[in-house]
Amino acid sequence: MADHAPFPLKKKASMVYLVGAGPGDPGLLTMRAARAISMADVLLYDHLIPLELLDMAPDEAKRIDVGKVRNHPRMSQKEIGETLVKHARQGLSVVRLKGGDPFVFGRGGEEAQVLAEAGIPFIVIPGVTSPVAVPAYSGIPVTHRDHSSRLIILTAHDDPTDWKQPDIDALARPHQTVVVLMGALYMKELVARLLNAGLDPKTPTAIIRWGTTPNQESYYQTLEEIPAFLKEHGIAPPAILTIGGVVSLRKDVSWSHRLPLLGKRILLTRERSRSKELSETLEALGATVITFPTIHVSPSFSEKSMHTIEHLKDFAWIVFLSPNGVQYFLEGLGKSNKDLRSLAGLRIFSMGPATSTALNEAGLRPDLAPAESHGEGVIDAFRNLPEPHSGKVLLVRGDRGTGAIPRGLEELGYGVETISVYENTLPDVPSYRMERLRTILDEGAIDLAIFYSPSAIRGFISLFPDHAEAISRIPSLAIGPTTREELLRSAIQTLVMAKNPTTPSVVETAVDFLSQFGNNAKELSRPPGNSGRVHPGGA
Which pLDDT value is given to residue 486?
93
pLDDT of residue 47: 87
Average model confidence (pLDDT) across the chain? 89
Q: With beta carbons less than 8 A apart as the criterion, state whether 19 and 31 touch.
A: no
Q: Give the Cα separation of 300 and 297 in Å (integer).
A: 9
Q: In 3D, which of 351, 369, 354 has the Cα closest to residue 274?
A: 354
- On the question of a common fold for 15-128 and 297-425, the answer reads no
By DSSP bridging, strand 476-478 and strand 448-451 are parallel
Whether the per-residue pLDDT at 530 is higher than 50: the answer is no
The string of DSSP letters for 469-516 reads HHHHTS-EEESSHHHHHHHHHTT-SSEEE-SSSSHHHHHHHHHHHHHH
Q: Where does 297-425 sit in CATH, by number? A: 3.40.50.10090
pLDDT of residue 465: 95
Catalytic site residues? 46, 68
**pLDDT tens, position by position, 210-254:** 999 988 999 999 999 999 999 998 888 889 999 999 999 998 998
Q: Give the least confident one: 151-165, 315-329, 524-538.
A: 524-538
What CATH number should be reported for the domain whose range is 132-256? 3.30.950.10
Tell me the percentage of the chain whose pLDDT exceeds 90.
74
Contacts of 419 (CB under 8 A, 6+ apart): 302, 304, 305, 308, 309, 394, 395, 396, 397
Say whether the peptide bond before residue 238 is cis (omega within 30 degrees of 0).
yes
Instruction: Judge whether 332 and 461 are in contact, CB under 8 Å.
Output: no
pLDDT digits (tens, 9 = 90+) for 405-431: 999 999 999 999 999 999 999 999 999
CA angle 394, 397, 403 (to 5 degrees): 80
165 burial level (CB within 10 Å; 0-12, 13-18, 19+): exposed
Q: What's the pLDDT at 531?
A: 34
Dihedral in degrees, nearest 10, Cα atoms 106, 112, 118, 120:
120
Cβ-count burial of 12 within 10 angstroms (0-12 exposed, 13-18 middle, 19+ buried)? exposed
Dihedral class, residue 491 (left if φ above 0, else alpha if ψ from -120 to 50, else beta)? left
Q: Is the dihedral of CA 5, 6, 12, 17 positive or negative?
A: positive
Over the stretch 428-458, which tens digit does the pLDDT of each residue have? 999 999 999 999 999 999 999 999 989 999 9
CATH of 15-128, one of 3.40.1010.10, 3.40.50.150, 3.30.70.580, 3.40.50.970: 3.40.1010.10
Architecture of domain 265-295+428-525: 3-Layer(aba) Sandwich (3.40)
Q: What is the mean pLDDT of residues 156-185?
A: 88
Q: Is 351 left (phi over 0), alpha (psi -120 to 50) or beta?
A: beta
Parallel, antiparallel or unpaired: strands 448-451 and 415-425 = unpaired
State yes or no: pLDDT of 69 exceeds 90: no
User: Is the pLDDT confidence value at 6 over 80?
Assistant: no
Residue spans per domain, the chain: 15-128, 132-256, 265-295+428-525, 297-425
